[in-house]
Amino acid sequence: MKDIILTTYPCGEIKRKREQVRSFLLQRSTVIKGVDLAQLSSNDLELMFELYDQVFFEGWIQRNYSGRMQFSISRKMTNSAGKTVCLRNDSSKPDSTVIEVRISQQILSNYGMVEGADMVGGIKTGSRLEALQLIFEHELIHVIEFICFGESSCKQSRFKTMADNLFGHKENYHQLPTNKQIAQQRLGLSPGSAVAFPYQDRKLEGILCSIRKRASVMVSDKNGRYCDKEGQRYSKYLVPLQLLEAPRK
Ligand SMILES: [Zn+2]
């Protein structure tokens, strides 16, 4: 491979290579049992990284990057599916660089919960594992940019061209369901909606305020810490989405 930045694969070859990575991963992982990813570890991300480097890049990353790679599965990321950060301790020493790829556990576990919301990078995915691959491919372009240029942005045309040439990605973003979309589409709830939820042995009613990992609900409470413009006081409750329901009329 002369120059990874100029490499372009035809569509059929990308598909074949992606399937090859998938079948190697299923063969070699001690944790992953199937494409629904009931279990996934950060070691699997590392294995996937090595497979992509071999299958798509002919070992280019291994030959051209002397720093360290780290992989993690994030419980905090609720909107982004993946994130790549580059920590450079000393720019005069390339081997002190650490590049970390984080994958959102929440977005992966939401896969399949809203019908039709299964596109990543403009490509329809057939399984949770395939969605993870496409998320990972996006992050790999960030990795290559960090190695080649010391900076990376998926908003720039350089990134978009490489993502299209190497992986056939037509878009930057995933359309996998976020908790917010699940609440909106499955429960008909959005911020401002009146909601009820069980709390200890009672049922509380309040106003849905925001949805991240859990829903924040403001419940009227004369001793509450939160106050609105009218001087009404509230307490905030963090409620798992599956416990939210419509209030009794
Ligand atoms: Zn990005």
pLDDT of residue 55: 97
Closest CA to 218 of 190, 203, 238: 238
The lowest-confidence range among 96-100, 175-179, 233-237 is: 175-179
Distance (angstroms) between ligand 1 centre and the Cα of 42 equals 19
Distance (angstroms) between ligand 1 centre and the Cα of 230 equals 42
Distance (angstroms) between ligand 1 centre and the Cα of 65 equals 20
Distance (angstroms) between ligand 1 centre and the Cα of 137 equals 10
Q: For residue 54, what are its two tokens?
A: 């071999």
Question: Residue 126 carries which DSSP code?
Answer: S
If you write DSSP's letter for every residue of 59-122 in order, what string do you get?
THHHHH--SEEEEEEESS-SS-SEEEEEEES-TT-GGGEEEEEEEEHHHHHTTTSSTT--EETT
Spatial contact of 131 and 23, defined as CB atoms under 8 Å apart: no
pLDDT of residue 2: 55
- What are the tens digits of pLDDT across the range 129-146? 999 999 999 999 999 999
- What are the tens digits of pLDDT across the range 101-118? 999 999 999 998 888 889
Distance (angstroms) between ligand 1 centre and the Cα of 245 equals 35
- What are the tens digits of pLDDT across the range 7-39? 999 999 999 999 999 999 999 999 998 999 988
Residues whose CB is under 5 A from ligand 1 (ion)?
154
pLDDT of residue 245: 86
Q: Which helix (H) or strand (E) holds 51?
A: helix 42-55
Judged against a pLDDT cut of 80, whether residue 248 lies above it is answered with no
Judged against a pLDDT cut of 80, whether residue 94 lies above it is answered with no
Q: For residue 218, what are its two tokens?
A: 């403001």
∠ at Cα 225 (223, 229), nearest 5°? 100
- What are the tens digits of pLDDT across the range 153-190? 999 999 999 999 999 999 888 889 888 888 888 778 88
Distance (angstroms) between ligand 1 centre and the Cα of 70 equals 17
- What are the tens digits of pLDDT across the range 38-93? 889 999 999 999 999 999 999 999 999 999 999 999 999 988 999 999 998 777 77
C-alpha–C-alpha distance, residues 2 and 14, integer Å: 18
Ordered by start, the domain boundaries in the chain are: 4-177, 181-243
Distance (angstroms) between ligand 1 centre and the Cα of 131 equals 15
